[in-house]
Structure 1
Amino acid sequence: MLGTENCKLKYTYVHGGLTTFEPCYDLAKNSWIFAASRKVYGDDVFRAMYQTSSKNLGLEWSRNSKLNMNFKVSASINLAEESKMPKLTAESTWNFEV
């Protein structure tokens, strides 16, 4: 909400219809979130994101298929932790018409 500390300023720039850059400033945390995504092969999107406040780096691959089968595979890592073990996630969605 504007006028409160819980405010984020976000700018989206689409380059060539395929690549999107999204810098975002979080006023409450006094930090930046940088994201970039790229469409490939029509239905696939690769996205990278970095949060300066938490030092989280994330990568994501998603597909919104016309065949009613969607999926997302993501990996994230906290660069501030000593272990540097990535967290991997996979999601799948099927849409059926009855």
Structure 2
Amino acid sequence: MNTALVALRMGVVLDEYRETANTRIEPWLVQQALARLGDRQLTVDEQVEIVCATRTPKKVEWPVWWAALPGSAILAAGQAKRPHRPQKRSADFDL
């Protein structure tokens, strides 16, 4: 995600002054994207990615077929499977 999402208030940066800062998508944007899916259903791995990228996932009205609900065992298992993606610090970049 990038600063454009923050400027458009579609996302928020968490711990912006830390090396581990990351951006989360606003729940209203996730809700709008889910409404556009129509009959298409996402895989459990895709669901885990979306829930983890949402700022406050408990505020989203998830579809009835959604398996990776916040606080569920499926979500916890999916988060454990996700590979750790270390973020580069500015000192790590070649100048």
| TM-score of the alignment, normalized to the shorter chain, above 0.5 | no
Higher strand share: 1
Larger Rg: 1
Higher relative contact order (CA 8 A, sep 6+): 2
TM-score normalised by structure 2 residue count: 0.27
Higher helix share: 2
